[in-house]
């Protein structure tokens, strides 16, 4: 159900981008928006992993530097029938983790130093299995494309605003932009794009929890890890770029989340409840 929901939301995001282009400059604007959308998707496909790792200060570690971590990642990747991803470490006392990569053959998992210090081996395995679930479900690619499209829609809204200020909405014929539609684009489209992007992120987190529980075979360990990570992130939020917050297993900016439309993560209580139900 979550998978179907994700693809419906992605289609809505792409449609919103194209409608925005049409509102700004008619049929020609819609065509240009489609071309830009394809170009942005290509860029996010190839470069999102490098940007994410660099943005979060992640450093690749060798098996000699972190032998236990590498052995655990290798064991879980084998269970998940995935190639072993690259392993990165983020020097930060706040426990958290994320995965990135355009496909299973070009993937990486990153954990903070605080996570390795706080959790026991089974809990670390649960967190890593969750991240491998993201890789197996290609969530990183889906999230990156959604983020790029949402950003592009906001940029289109800014273009529409400047066009109206400088008389770009004068023409109301079939080939030109529609002034009323452009006004709606300025006000509504960025909000709608953000809501859709966040809904996509929430649906993929549930799927990754389920996949992580199946890969590790210990849903209760993952539930326990989420409880600890949430508590520590509330006490000591990470200083990260808000654009990358959705990548982490728990929100690094606020820790636990309430159930509202503007959450990048599902309610932690619901995630833990589902995992405990799997464990029972």
Residues 6+ apart with CB under 8 A from 4: none
pTM to 2 decimal places: 0.76
Q: What average pLDDT score do residues 143-149 get?
A: 66
Q: What average pLDDT score do residues 137-164 get?
A: 68
Catalytic residues: 131
Q: What average pLDDT score do residues 198-219 get?
A: 90
- CB 211 within 8 Å of CB 274: no
CA distance 30 to 60: 42
Size (the chain), residues: 280
Give pLDDT, residue 203: 83
Q: Is the pLDDT of residue 121 over 60?
A: yes
**Of 128, 96, 56, the residue nearest 229 (C-alpha):** 96
Of 79-93, 178-192, 207-221, minimum mean pLDDT range = 178-192
Give pLDDT, residue 25: 59
Q: For 94-218, where are the alpha helices, taking DSSP H only?
A: 113-118, 121-136, 139-165, 179-216
Q: How confident is the model at residue 171 (pLDDT cuts 50, 70, 90)?
A: very low
CA distance 169 to 172: 7
Give pLDDT, residue 42: 73
More confident residue, 26 or 197: 197
More confident residue, 157 or 59: 59
Q: How confident is the model at residue 21 (pLDDT cuts 50, 70, 90)?
A: low
Q: How confident is the model at residue 123 (pLDDT cuts 50, 70, 90)?
A: very high
CA distance 7 to 266: 18
Give pLDDT, residue 95: 96
The listed range with the strongest mean pLDDT (97-111, 123-137, 169-183) is 123-137
Q: What average pLDDT score do residues 251-261 get?
A: 61
Q: What is the pLDDT of residues 79-92, one digit of tens each?
A: 999 999 999 999 99
CA distance 21 to 181: 10
Tell me the backbone φ, ψ of residue 116, rounded to 5 degrees: -65, -30
Q: What average pLDDT score do residues 122-136 get?
A: 97
CA distance 160 to 19: 12
**Of 145, 123, 107, the residue nearest 11 (C-alpha):** 145
- CB 136 within 8 Å of CB 82: yes
3-state helix, strand, coil in the chain (%, to 5): 70, 10, 25
Buried-exposed string 82-101: b where 16+ CB fall within 10 A, e elsewhere = bebbbbbbbebebbbbbbbb
Give pLDDT, residue 47: 75
More confident residue, 39 or 151: 39
Q: How confident is the model at residue 280 (pLDDT cuts 50, 70, 90)?
A: confident
Q: What average pLDDT score do residues 270-277 get?
A: 96
Average pLDDT across the chain, whole number: 80
């Amino acid at each position: 159900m979550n998978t179907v929901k994700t693809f419906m939301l992605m289609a809505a995001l792409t449609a919103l981008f194209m409608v925005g282009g049409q509102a700004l400059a008619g049929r020609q604007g819609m065509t240009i928006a489609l071309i830009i959308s394809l170009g942005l998707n290509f860029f996010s496909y190839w470069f999102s992993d490098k940007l994410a790792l660099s943005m979060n200060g992640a450093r690749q570690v060798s098996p000699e530097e972190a032998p236990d971590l590498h052995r655990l990642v290798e064991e879980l990747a084998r269970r998940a029938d995935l190639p072993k991803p690259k392993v990165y470490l983020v020097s930060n006392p706040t426990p958290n983790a994320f995965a990135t990569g355009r496909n299973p053959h070009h993937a990486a998992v990153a954990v903070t130093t605080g996570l390795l210090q706080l959790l026991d081996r089974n809990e670390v395995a649960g967190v890593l299995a969750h991240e491998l679930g993201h890789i197996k479900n290609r969530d990183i690619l889906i999230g990156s494309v959604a983020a790029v499209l949402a950003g592009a829609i906001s940029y289109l809204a800014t273009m529409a605003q400047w066009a109206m200020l400088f008389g770009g909405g004068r023409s109301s014929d079939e080939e030109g932009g529609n002034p009323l539609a452009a006004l709606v684009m300025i006000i509504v489209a960025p909000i709608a794009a953000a809501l859709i992007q966040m809904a996509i992120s929430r649906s993929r987190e549930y799927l990754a929890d389920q996949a992580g529980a199946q890969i590790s075979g210990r849903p209760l360990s993952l539930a326990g890890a989420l409880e600890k990570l949430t508590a520590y992130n509330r006490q000591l939020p990470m200083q990260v770029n808000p654009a990358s917050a959705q990548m982490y297993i728990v929100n690094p900016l606020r820790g636990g989340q309430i159930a509202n439309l503007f959450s990048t993560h599902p309610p932690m209580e619901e995630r833990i409840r589902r995992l405990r139900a799997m464990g029972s």
